Chains A and B, each alone.
Chain A
Amino acid sequence: MEFSTFHSDLAGTDIKPNALLGKYLNMLEADAKALAGETMKSVDCPACGSSQKQAYAAKMSFEFAKCGSCATVYVPKRPSQDRLLRFFKDSAARRFWLQDIWKETASVRHEKILEPLKDWVETFLAETGVVGRPLRVVELDAASWGFWETLKENPRLQMRFVEPMFDLSLQPSCEGAVDLLDSAGIYDAVCLIEALGRVENPLATLQWASQHLAKGGLCFITTTLSTGFDVLTLGAASEAMLPPERLSLLSIEGMKILAAKAGLEVVELSTPGVLDLQNVLRGHRAGAEIPPFAKYLVETRAQDPRFTYDFQTFLQSHGLSSQGRAVLRKA
């Protein structure tokens, strides 16, 4: 299994401007509160399936638990996928995210997140050995990042996408949309960009990917991990814990278990995040309680770009950043 480090001058505020983010969080809290009053579905650890868990944190009217076996952090009482789909269709916070924050930050997201992701995917696809025909790629765009639109720039790729969080009938003009239940589709690659943390059942999603991959096909995953520095340091104050937008924060160990359960081989598992220190600093400034060592780091050392680079590189090199990515292969 290989892993990589990554460098970027991306700032957290580039993609989540403070004022807009505050408004969004308030709206989401209101939406989440209404949803949390409904009947929920009880689930065991979405990664390893263990029923052992400890209460971890309360956030936005939802309770998070930590798996006693693999340390995945998850919402054990959660809406069904159908209910999530309706929630995201109706959520004012979601609409605000897409129409205001996403548009405001689209340019920097494209340059500093989507383009590097495209490089990453293209590099692995170039090693598949498929020649003489386009590579068939599908994205399950649960986060509505529209990564497929960036990949579409590559003429070698035949792009398709699914938005499981939305009713496809709402997007009749989207060329390339496919039905999630289209069982005939076989792909050279499936992209799950920020999807696994958002869907009701990560294993079912990964199994869908596995079933629709050609032999030797690749599954590209990015997801926020519970075992990253900022998530562990900030706990409930971490912006990564964002129900019902994000219901599962897989641990790095849980990620491996999930891949094995879906019958996929882990080719790469990296934590190339660049925002851990920034996120802790941001949380600290917002009043989050953090341990003394972390407080010293962000108050005294985090202004030195060389230090932040070295520290983030250390986190990346040891699988300790919260931004995870994986390449899985169907044997």
Chain B
Amino acid sequence: MIRTAIIGYGYMGEIRRRVIEAHQDLELIMVCETDPKRLPKGNFAVTSDPTDVLKNDAELVFVCTPNNLIPELTVECLKRGKHVFAEKPPGRNLADIEAMRDQEKKSPGVKLMFGFNHRYHPGIQRAKRLIESGKFGQLLWVRGVYGKSGGKNFPASWRNKREVSGGGILLDQGIHMLDLFNYFCGDFEDVKAFVNNSFWNVEVEDNAFVILKNKNGQNGMLHSSATLWKHKFQIEIGLEHGYLIVEGLLSKTGSYGRETLKVARREFEDETDAVGNPSEEITYFDRDMSWDIEVNKIAECIVNNTPVSESSSDDAWRVMRIVDRAYKSGLGGQ
């Protein structure tokens, strides 16, 4: 069994605890939470001091803290030879992820993985398989919308304090979509963006429009928003012979709608009625195993001593590079 600890017992910490306790190879030995009211009860030790986790014999640490704490805690764990699963975003900026990568290189054999769980949602996985089958030809472009409406407590959230979060909705939520763009297409080198604060009057952006291009000539476009009064997750993938749309997202609240994958094949030869309006086949999903899949991946890497190949620090760095360039483009270098 891999002795496991959690630092940070908020929304994500609770999810990680459930998955860890259900995993055959993981044993939860300690939970650290600085807010004593949130400290959970269970068959494990609890502490409000993160150094207790660093000092104990946990082999794997889940870092589920606000963004500003992720780099330092991750680096300290890696220094002590502890494997780390850290939540996204991987720090507040490019320097943060680079610091974690530097320590990772100095700690050979230690695994570092980040929580880009959207990759493992059923609609995304099915889309990935269909693209890999080659039946739809080359991927031409991706376009995503990911947004939420905030809420009355939204302005007060730590996510909107620049010093803590490092950025706004793009870094908090849009980063998942950018990671999916990379997952489907590979690196995007050219990044242009408009980033603004149009409604919430907080320290960080509440809307970002990002356009991207890579060396393969593929384009991407993202609208990341905290002013979508109807929650929305949608990624469209244009291919030579058709298109795929993943819409809705299985979540605890269900507010993004039921997760679906629409598949349509190009119809414009010898057609009259169907031009530009092909029939779509829709798959409806109802089971989100993404949290379990990603935790299982790092457990497998530890058990088999294999490198982290998905949601790795390299993936994290590549997506943070896009965020960095989007902020530089959209905020004029602020």
The answer to whether the Cβ of A2 comes within 8 Å of any Cβ in the partner chain is: yes
Set of chain A residues within 8 Å of B130, measured between Cβ atoms: 123
Take A126-B132, A127-B129, A305-B273 as given contacts and tell me if A317 and B282 are in contact as well, using a CB distance cutoff of 8 Å.
yes
Which of A4-12, A180-188, A191-199 is the contact stretch? A4-12
Q: Which residue of B lies closest to A268 (CB)?
A: B283
> Is A5 in contact with B282, judged by CB distance below 8 angstroms?
yes
Given the complex of chains A and B, what is the CA–CA distance between A122 and B135 in angstroms? 12
B192 located at the interface, meaning its Cβ lies under 8 Å from any Cβ of chain A in the complex: no
A131 within 8 A of B: no
With the chains together, A306 CA to B281 CA distance in Å? 15
Asked if A14 lies at the interface with its beta carbon under 8 angstroms from chain B, I say no
The reply to whether A2 and B125 contact each other, CB–CB distance below 8 Å, is no
Contact across chains for A2 and B122 when beta carbons are under 8 A apart: yes
Find out whether the CB atom of A123 lies under 8 angstroms from the CB atom of B126.
yes
Q: Nearest residue in B to A306 (C-beta to C-beta)?
A: B273
B129 touches A5 (CB 8 A): no
A3 at interface, CB cutoff 8 A: yes
Of the candidates A2, A7, A127, A305, the one whose C-beta lies within 8 Å of that of B281 is A7
Residues of chain A within 8 A (CB-CB) of B43 are: none
Check A119 against B286 for contact (C-beta < 8 Å). Answer: no
> Do residues A6 and B281 form an inter-chain contact, with CB atoms below 8 A?
yes
Q: In the complex, which residues of chain A have a beta carbon less than 8 angstroms from the beta carbon of B135?
A: 119
In Å, the complex CA distance between A7 and B273 comes to 15
Contact of B287 among A1, A6, A123, A305 (CB under 8 A): A1
User: Given known contacts A2-B286, A2-B287, A127-B125, is B279 in contact with A309 (CB within 8 Å)?
Assistant: yes
A3 pairs with B284, CB closer than 8 A: yes
Q: How far is the CA of A317 from the CA of B262 in the complex (A)?
A: 13
A309: chain B residues at CB < 8 Å are 279
| CB neighbours of A4 from chain B (8 A) | 281-284
B49 adjacent to chain A (CB < 8 Å) = no
B304 at the interface (CB under 8 A from A): no
| Residue of B122, B280, B281 with highest tally of chain A CB at under 10 A | B281
Within 8 A of A (CB), among B272-292: 273, 279-287
Shortest CB–CB separation between residue B247 and chain A, in angstroms?
Answer: 14
A77 to B138, CA, bound (A): 55
Q: Which residue on A lies nearest to B122, using beta carbons? A: A2
Is B133 among interface residues, defined by CB-CB distance under 8 A?
A: yes
List the A side residues contacting B126 at CB < 8 Å.
Answer: 123, 127
Which residues from 92 to 145 on chain A have a C-beta closer than 8 Å to any C-beta of chain B? 119, 122-123, 126-127
Give chain B residues whose Cβ lies under 8 Å from the Cβ of A317: 282, 284
**Chain A min CB distance to B161 (Å):** 40
Which B residues, 89 to 146, have Cβ-Cβ distances below 8 Å to chain A? 122, 125-126, 129-130, 132-133, 135
A126 and B273 contacting across the interface, CB-CB below 8 Å? no
Chain B hits for A5, CB < 8 A: 280-283
* Residues of A that sit less than 8 Å from B by CB: 1-7, 119, 122-123, 126-127, 305-306, 309, 317
What residues make up the interface of B, taking CB atoms closer than 8 Å to A?
122, 125-126, 129-130, 132-133, 135, 273, 279-287
Q: Which 10 A-B pairs have the closest CB atoms?
A: A7-B279, A4-B283, A126-B129, A5-B282, A2-B285, A6-B281, A5-B281, A3-B284, A7-B281, A2-B283
Given contacts A2-B287, A119-B135, A127-B125, 15 further A-B contacts (CB under 8 A): A2-B122, A2-B286, A4-B281, A4-B283, A4-B284, A5-B281, A5-B282, A6-B281, A7-B280, A7-B281, A122-B133, A123-B133, A126-B132, A126-B133, A127-B129
